[in-house]
Amino acid sequence: MNEETKKKINQKYEHKLAHGERFWPDSLYKDAVVALGIFLLLILLATFVGVPGEPKADPSDATYVPRPEWYFLFLFKFLAIYGQIPVLGRIEWIAAVLIPGIFLIVLTLLPFIEKKPDRHYSKRVLPISVMGIFVVSVVTLTLIADHPLKWDAQYRLTSLLQVISGLIIPTAAYLLLFLFSFLLKDQRASQGMVLTAGLSGVLMVGLTASVLFLAPVPEVEEVFVANTLPDRVVAGQDLYSIHCVECHGDDGSVTVIEGVEGLDGTVTSPISGMDVLYTFTDATIANIITYGQQDLGMPPFGKAAGGELSVSEIDYIVTFMRYSWDDRFEMPEIPELFPPLAEGEVPSYEVHIAPIAKRFCISCHREGKDNNNYLMTSYDEIIHSGDSAPNLVAGDAESILLKVIQEQNILDENGEEIIGVMPPKSVLKPDVVDVWVRWVMAGMPETVDGAAALSDIVEPVER
Amino acid sequence: MWRKLYAWLEDRLGLEEIYKATLDRPEPKGNWWNTLGSASLFLFLLQGVTGIFLTVYYTPSPDHAYDSIQYIMNDVAFGWLIRGIHHWGSTLMVIVVFVHMVRVFVTASYKYPRELTWIFGVGLLLLTLGMGFTGYLLPWNQRSYWATEVGTRIAGSVPLIGDSILRVLRGGPDLSALTLQRFFSGHIWIIPALLAAVIGVHLYLVMRHGESHFPDKDD
Amino acid sequence: MTSSNRMSRRDFIKVTIGAIGGVMGVLLGVPVVGYLLQPAFRKQAAEAWIPIGKLEAFTIGIPSPFSFTRTKVNGWERTATSYGGFVLRRSEDPKEILILSSRCTHLSCRVNWNEAAQGYLCPCHDAKFSIEGEVLSGPPPEPLERYNEFKVDEDGNLLIFFEEA
Asked if the structure places residue A335 within a domain, the reply is no
The 10s digit of each residue's pLDDT in B95-142 is: 999 999 999 999 999 998 999 999 999 999 999 999 999 999 999 999
Instruction: List subunits contacting chain C, requiring 3 or more Cβ pairs under 8 Å.
Output: A, B
Mutate to test the interface with A, among B18, B23, B35 (most CBs of A within 10 A): B35
Q: In the prediction, which pLDDT does C44 show?
A: 65
Of A62, A51, A52, A53, which is closest to residue A310 (Cα–Cα)? A62
Within this chain, do residues A32 and A111 fall inside the same structural domain, yes or no?
no
Within this chain, do residues A247 and A395 fall inside the same structural domain, yes or no?
no
Asked if the structure places residue A374 within a domain, the reply is yes
The 10s digit of each residue's pLDDT in A42-53 is: 999 999 999 988
The CATH number linked to B126 is 1.20.810.10
* Beta-carbon pairs below 8 A across chains A and C: 35
Within this chain, do residues A288 and A254 fall inside the same structural domain, yes or no?
yes
- A309 vs B contacts (CB less than 8 Å): none
For residue B84, what are the domain limits? 32-209
Q: Are C69 and A278 inside 8 Å of each other by CB?
A: yes
Sequence letter at residue A311: V
For residue A243, what are the domain limits? 231-325
Within this chain, do residues A37 and A120 fall inside the same structural domain, yes or no?
no
In this prediction the pTM is: 0.84
- As a whole number of angstroms, the distance between CA A180 and CA A185 comes to 8
Q: Average pLDDT for residues C139-153, to the nearest whole number?
A: 89
pLDDT above 70 coverage of chain B, percent: 100
- ipTM above threshold 0.90: yes
- B38 vs A contacts (CB less than 8 Å): 28, 31, 34-35
Within this chain, do residues A181 and A118 fall inside the same structural domain, yes or no?
yes
- As a whole number of angstroms, the distance between CA A162 and CA C40 comes to 57
Asked if the structure places residue B137 within a domain, the reply is yes
Asked if the structure places residue A225 within a domain, the reply is no
Asked if the structure places residue A292 within a domain, the reply is yes
Asked if the structure places residue B190 within a domain, the reply is yes
Q: In the prediction, which pLDDT does A463 show?
A: 40
**Any idea of the CA torsion for A119, A122, A124, A128, to the nearest 10 degrees?**
110
Of A233, A246, A241, which is closest to residue A432 (Cα–Cα)? A241
For chain B, what is the domain count?
Answer: 1
Top mean pLDDT of A3-12, A88-97, A223-232, C22-31 is at: C22-31
Instruction: List subunits contacting chain B, requiring 3 or more Cβ pairs under 8 Å.
Output: A, C
Asked if the structure places residue A336 within a domain, the reply is no
Asked if the structure places residue B13 within a domain, the reply is no
Q: In the prediction, which pLDDT does A226 show?
A: 84
Within this chain, do residues A264 and A173 fall inside the same structural domain, yes or no?
no
First to last CA, chain A: 92
- As a whole number of angstroms, the distance between CA A328 and CA A277 comes to 10
Q: Are B68 and C75 inside 8 Å of each other by CB?
A: yes
Rg of chain B, C-alpha, whole Å: 21
Minimal C-alpha gap between B136 and chain A (Å): 7
Burial of B104 (0-12, 13-18, 19+ CB in 10 A): buried
The CATH number linked to A283 is 1.10.760.10
DSSP category for residue B158:
S
The 10s digit of each residue's pLDDT in B160-211 is: 899 999 999 999 999 999 999 999 999 999 999 999 999 999 999 999 998 8
Asked if the structure places residue B130 within a domain, the reply is yes
- B70 vs C contacts (CB less than 8 Å): 76
Asked if the structure places residue A342 within a domain, the reply is no
Residue C3 has pLDDT above 60, yes or no: no
DSSP category for residue A189:
H
Asked if C119 and C128 touch (Cβ cutoff 8 Å), the reply is yes
Within this chain, do residues A309 and A441 fall inside the same structural domain, yes or no?
no
Of B151, B155, B173, which is closest to residue A66 (Cα–Cα)? B151
Distance of CA A192 to the CA centre of its chain: 46
Minimal C-alpha gap between A32 and chain C (Å): 6
Any B CB within 8 A of A43 CB: yes
The 10s digit of each residue's pLDDT in B134-143 is: 999 999 999 9
Mutate to test the interface with C, among B78, B86, B140 (most CBs of C within 10 A): B78
Give the three-class secondary structure for C97.
strand
Residue A418 has pLDDT above 80, yes or no: no
Average pLDDT value over all residues in chain C: 86
First to last CA, chain B: 52
Within this chain, do residues A73 and A204 fall inside the same structural domain, yes or no?
yes
Residue A70 has pLDDT above 70, yes or no: yes
Within this chain, do residues A70 and A196 fall inside the same structural domain, yes or no?
yes
For chain A, what is the domain count?
Answer: 4
Any B CB within 8 A of A1 CB: yes
Within this chain, do residues A42 and A65 fall inside the same structural domain, yes or no?
no
Which among A29, A278, A326 has CB closest to C16?
A29
Q: Are A16 and B143 inside 8 Å of each other by CB?
A: no
Within this chain, do residues A196 and A75 fall inside the same structural domain, yes or no?
yes
Q: Are A47 and B81 inside 8 Å of each other by CB?
A: yes
* CB atoms closer than 10 angstroms to residue B136: 23
Asked if the structure places residue A92 within a domain, the reply is yes
Within this chain, do residues A174 and A306 fall inside the same structural domain, yes or no?
no
Top mean pLDDT of A230-244, A386-400, A425-439, C62-76 is at: A230-244
Give the three-class secondary structure for A160.
helix
pLDDT class for C165, splitting at 50, 70, 90?
Answer: low
Asked if the structure places residue B159 within a domain, the reply is yes
Any C CB within 8 A of A32 CB: yes
